[in-house]
A and B are shown apart, each in its own frame.
Chain A
Amino acid sequence: MSLLAFFEWLADTPWSVDLHESQYAYPIIESVHVWTMAVFFGLAVMFDLRLLGWTFRKVPIPEFNRRILPWTIAAFVIMVVSGTLLFFAIPLRSYQNIFFRLKMVLLVLAGLNAWFFHARVYPRVIAGPDDGVTKGAKGAKIAGALSLALWIAVVFSGRMIAYNWFDCDRQPQPDIINFLTSCIPAAAEP
């Protein structure tokens, strides 16, 4: 079964249809998604700014990590759950949306960056001579800059999912767009 067929099937399940057509559930879930995004993004950026040394220079990186990361993770979990529900409400259209695809790629990159930082860079930060107080390892700055850029790009692409400029049911589109969205346009009327 192809992903396309799977999402076609998912879009026709009663729960997906109910959520899609609901008067309140969908806007409420979308609001939760935006609000938790603000908390997640805001706190993640504050941590990035610390890693870059652009502010909070007196706060040791380990303390920032220990005291702020749990809040960041909590917001992230709610954001992912609400985001999954939003996808579940409109699976096929989201799957074929170019901005949704871009966002997923960026999310993976942001996740890899976060993983690399916590697995490889952070241990060197705490092992450093100053315990991460004044400045972190060089890698910390790179991780902070990448995180900042990637999350901003995630927010931008996420916002654009709402627009149908490149949707499969809006033809003609350039071939490259239809390729990137796995769209096979319906044959033109003879």
Chain B
Amino acid sequence: MSLLPFFQWCYQTPIGAAIRDSTWLFPLIEAFHLIGLGLTVGAVLIVDLRLLGVGLRRQPVAQLSAAVEPWLLGSLALMLVSGSALFLSEAIKCYYSFPFWVKMTALLLALVFTFTVRRRLTQTSVASDRSLLGRATAVTSLALWFGVAWGGRWIGFS
């Protein structure tokens, strides 16, 4: 079954149409999306740098993870809401965009990885300082989020 009818339906929603009809809405929502991107990257980096042994090395991983948790969740919510609105306004373009599918795949993987493997590791601090497991988790996390950022930026160029 093709997803195209669903994307066409998204495109025709009142929200999508309102954003398309407005001069300001799309850029404004996109700016909020960028703020969310920065916040997410910051919240992810604080923990991943620590896991790599190059950031706040003296702080327990679990403590840093708990400190960024509300900001990570808040920024992800901002990204999902603003991103969904942007998507509705150009859903058909997205359907035919290769970077869009790269982004959605990377996003799904990044979210699943962040809230399963990475969360368990950071909350329990099973990783000893700069352990191989911690480093591998950080590298995987950064690679997945970079995939999201790459796809996101490239949707605009395609």
B18-60 residues with Cβ-Cβ distance < 8 A to A are 23, 27, 30-31, 34-35, 37-46, 49, 55-59
B95 sits at the interface (CB 8 A) = no
Type the 1/0 row for A132-144, where 1 means its CB is closer than 8 Å to any CB of B: 0000000000000
Q: Is the interface of A mostly helix, strand, loop or mixed?
A: helix
Chain A interface size, as a band, is 20 to 34
Query: Contacts A34-B153, A45-B39: A39 and B45 contacting too (C-beta < 8 A)?
Result: yes
A159 touches B153 (CB 8 A): no
Q: What residues of chain A lie closer than 8 Å to B46, measured between beta carbons? A: 43, 46, 68
A170 contacts the other chain (Cβ, under 8 Å)? no
Closest to B157 in A: A27
Interfacial chain A residues near B40, Cβ < 8 Å: 38, 42
Instruction: Using CB atoms, name the residue of chain A closest to B55.
Output: A67
Contacts of B153 in A (CB 8 A): 30-31, 34-35
A41-B39, A42-B41, A59-B56 known; 4 new pairs, CB 8 Å cut-off, are A31-B153, A35-B146, A38-B37, A39-B41
- Which residues from chain A sit less than 8 Å from chain B, CB to CB? 27, 30-31, 34-35, 37-39, 41-46, 49, 55-59, 63-64, 67-68, 71, 152, 155-156, 159-160, 162-163, 165
> Which 3 residue pairs are nearest across A and B when measured between Cβ atoms?
A42-B42, A41-B38, A42-B41
